[in-house]
Amino acid sequence: MAPRPLISYEGKRVVVTGAYSGIGASLVELLKDAGADQIVVLDIKEPEANVDKFIETDMGNPVSIDAAISEITADDQAPVDVLFNNAGVAATLPADVVMRVNTLGLKRLTERLLPKMKSGGAIVNTASVAGNRWAEHVTEITALLAIDSWDEGVSWVADHAELVADGYFFSKESVQVYTMLTAKKATEHGLRINSVCPSPVDTPLLPAFRETMSDKIIDWAIETGAGRVATAEDQASALLFLGSDLASYVNGVNLLVDGGYTAALQMGQVSRPV
């Protein structure tokens, strides 16, 4: 008899946001290899990869998100085992859009799906090392995340324009905080929630980060880490692990997948270029 694979998604129904390209597209391939029973993709663009179900969804629009949730949780559908909140945009878009897609939409989908998910399952977010300085804003972020209403959340973002700045760093700080804040609630439902925090990854989004953060900062982050840019598969592998039963006791963790970038920075071995 062949040995049982350590990571298996056999029998699991999985939802992935943002799987048209980049990390999400790579994750879909890994999920197929791991035997996922059903892969449901939520994106503004239909993936070229063959998936079981594509629901056109704008993660920055509450009506669109709620419609997707209704479809996912329809009476004839099995409960979701694993949710990957991966969709994200860069600050080449307005801060308001960045916050809607990267934080408010992720939170809405998670909160509404979580109580209906299958016990034993997991939620995995794609955050970023751009969110590593969350502790500096934890009070404000906690206030934002405590807001239930979509419109009030959007107004909060508008009222804190200086703090939110271009939206990207603040949105990812918020995802890291949300991951930790939600871990207790996840446990109560027999679930886990974690995030992966990538440094620069070679995906269609990277040129947008070069534009908003400069080549100098991006190249420095790459050199400080593994000395090579991360591949989409480097990140998708970590997502796959956190969503799997192999990570059964991992909860509320923001996992750095950055080739050592954060460690070198925090240990004072390198300093940010001026």
Ligand X SMILES: NC(=O)c1ccc[n+]([C@@H]2O[C@H](COP(=O)([O-])OP(=O)(O)OC[C@H]3O[C@@H](n4cnc5c(N)ncnc54)[C@H](O)[C@@H]3O)[C@@H](O)[C@H]2O)c1
- Cα 268 to Cα 128, 131, 224, 262: the distances in Å are 20, 19, 12, 10
Among 8-16, 67-75, 200-208, 247-255, the segment contacting ligand X (CB under 6 A): 200-208
Chain residues 201-230 in contact with ligand X, contact rule CB under 6 A: 201, 203-206, 209
Is 54 in contact with 41 (CB distance < 8 Å)?
yes
Q: Tell me how far apart the alpha carbons of residues 71 and 243 are, in angstroms, rounded to a whole number.
A: 22
Q: Are 91 and 166 in contact (CB under 8 A)?
A: yes
Residues in 64-103 at the binding interface with ligand X, rule: CB under 6 A: 86-89, 101
Buried b (16+ CB within 10 A) or exposed e, 17-47: bbbbbbbbbbbbebbeebebebbbbbbbeeb
Structure tokens at 30: 């890994």
CB of 97 to ligand X, least distance (A): 8
**By CB under 6 A, is residue 45 in contact with ligand X?**
yes
Task: Report if residue 128 touches ligand X, rule: CB under 6 A.
Answer: yes
According to the binding rule CB under 6 A, does residue 238 interact with ligand X? no
Q: Which is nearer to ligand X, 8 or 212 (CB)?
A: 212
Looking at the Cβ atoms of 97 and 120, the one nearer to ligand X is 97
Report the C-alpha gap between 181 and 160 in whole angstroms.
21
Q: Which is nearer to ligand X, 59 or 145 (CB)?
A: 59
Judged by CB under 6 A, how many residues of this single chain contact ligand X? 31
- How far, in Å, CA of 264 to CA of 225, rounded? 8
- Considering the complex, what minimum distance in angstroms separates the CB of residue 201 from ligand X? 4
Whole-number minimum distance, CB 199 to ligand X, in Å?
7
Site residues, ligand X (CB under 6 A) = 17-24, 43-45, 57-60, 86-89, 101, 126, 128, 198, 200-201, 203-206, 209, 232
